Amino acid sequence: MITDTIYLATTEFKFLLRSKAKQRSLAIALLLPLVFGFLALWAFWDPYGQDNSLPIAVVNFDLGYTAGSTYINTGEEVINALKNSKSLNVKEPTLSEANRQLEDGTIEAIIIVPDGFTFKFLQHDLEDKPKLNYQSRNGASFFGSSLVLERVRSSLGSARFIFYDLSSTAPHNVLSLEGASLIDIRDASGYAPELYGPRLASLFLQISLWMGAVMLLYALPPKDPRLAVSRFSTFSITASKSIVLAFFGALQALLLDISLLSFLNLDIASPVLFILFTILLSWVFIAITQVFFLLLGRGGQLISVMLLMLQISASGALFPLKASPLFFQVFSPFLPMTYGTTGLNELILAKHTGTLIPLLLPLFFFLLLFYLLRILYTKRQISAKEAYPLH
């Protein structure tokens, strides 16, 4: 049985080496996860580190405050702090002009300094901070709006503000940290905190590997008519196919991992465990999708894509699962990406390795369950072919 398995796997590899058409299909299947995963993460990896400045408009309604003989306008100080930022291109139009520029995409956001800002700032009241109103375009992307908001916060956090003791009008220079903590930026657009780079890695890695599994099964269909009435056992047929698919699945994961570790400098707890874990995920995804391909043919391709969409929503890769509708919370424990997300986040974000062990059990369960279904289906298929041989 083992000899037959090795013979069939070796024969398959030799066939792939001779077939130019298969080689082209395999090249596409191997490159898809690499190209998609790397480019997707590269685009989101370090938006704060880019040199390009984002255009925003600042409208100042603050009239300032006169303490004794000293005129103070903290709103102007805020505007100057934003202008000094290399990551922002600050314009000062009227409010109507700013709204027009926001709608036509000339600027990314509007910062409004309300009237009375200086007076409230000078109160030093941490319970009732002065507020800057922030507004982004309705059609702006979630990440774009969050990026602008964070650049504004960063600019104010690195600025110096002049504080006056209203009882003596004596100036006191206060460091930026206090200035940033004494100002609230109220986001009128309703966007949640940003998720960039490493926080998106678990999602895009798994999408890449899942789509890689689908493309791999296009190149190497699990249903092989050449073996339908062969002398080989069901186990040997299934095991040999599994060896070939596992080899190319591991190669897909390895190429993607190397690109992230080498070119994006992905910082993880253990590169070896990271690579092994992604290879395991690749094998699980191949095991699941090949059963759909076998049972449903072209319909299995559609089911595979639909299951991917469900897992993106129910795995907790973007938002905490408890913040999702009950429907996704119910399905989450039965989806492999749920455990893949947790494991990858532990390796990439938390830098922990010990917590991986409990995640391996459900992943190996998925792997063994779907390979068992693969064996059972192959046996039924062969029996039917033998009962009604093709002439």
How far is Cα 10 from Cα 105, in angstroms, rounded to an integer?
59
Residue 341: give the domain boundaries. Answer: 2-45+196-387
* Single pTM value for the model: 0.71
Q: What is the structure's pLDDT at 173?
A: 35
Domain count, the chain: 2
* 158, 205: one domain: no
Q: What is the structure's pLDDT at 344?
A: 93
Count of alpha carbons within 13 angstroms of residue 366, beta-carbon side: 23
- Residues 98, 100, 103, 106, CA torsion sign: negative
* 35, 182: one domain: no
* 21, 60: one domain: no
Q: What is the structure's pLDDT at 337?
A: 95
Between these two residues, 65 and 288, which has the higher pLDDT value? 288
- Among the candidates 145, 168, 187, a domain finishes at 187
Q: Comparing 47-56, 79-88, 124-133, 346-355, which segment has the lowest mean pLDDT?
A: 47-56
Q: What is the structure's pLDDT at 352?
A: 77
Q: What pLDDT, in 10s, does the model give residues 147-185? A: 777 777 777 765 555 544 444 444 433 333 354 445 555
Q: C-alpha 216: how far from its chain's center?
A: 23
Q: Comparing 26-40, 162-176, 182-196, 352-366, which segment has the lowest mean pLDDT?
A: 162-176
How far is Cα 75 from Cα 285, in angstroms, rounded to an integer?
55
* 345, 218: one domain: yes
Q: What are phi and psi of 114, to 5 degrees?
A: -75, 165
Q: What is the structure's pLDDT at 77?
A: 87
* 10, 37: one domain: yes
Average pLDDT, integer, range 31-42: 89
Q: Is the pLDDT of residue 61 over 90?
A: yes
Q: What is the structure's pLDDT at 174?
A: 34
* 204, 329: one domain: yes
Average pLDDT, integer, range 289-315: 90
Q: What is the structure's pLDDT at 152?
A: 79
Q: What is the structure's pLDDT at 181?
A: 47
* 286, 314: one domain: yes
* 261, 383: one domain: yes
Note whether 57 and 110 are within 8 A (CB). yes
Q: Which residues pair with 70 in a beta bridge?
A: 67
Domain at 71, CATH number: 3.40.1710
Q: What is the structure's pLDDT at 342?
A: 92
* 244, 179: one domain: no
- Among the candidates 144, 160, 187, a domain finishes at 187
Q: How confident is the model at residue 57 (pLDDT cuts 50, 70, 90)?
A: very high
Q: What is the structure's pLDDT at 49?
A: 59
* 94, 164: one domain: yes
Task: Calculate helix-pair angle for 271-296, 198-219, nearest 10 degrees.
Answer: 40
Residue-averaged pLDDT of the chain? 80
- Among the candidates 138, 157, 187, a domain finishes at 187
Burial of 39-73, coded b for 16+ CB within 10 Å and e otherwise, reads: ebbeebbebeeeeeebebbbbbebebbebeeeebb
Report the 10 Å Cβ neighbour count for 156. Answer: 23
Average pLDDT, integer, range 56-77: 88
* 267, 204: one domain: yes
**Could you write out the DSSP letters of every residue in 256-302?**
HHHHHHHHS----S-HHHHHHHHHHHHHHHHHHHHHHHHHHTHHHHH
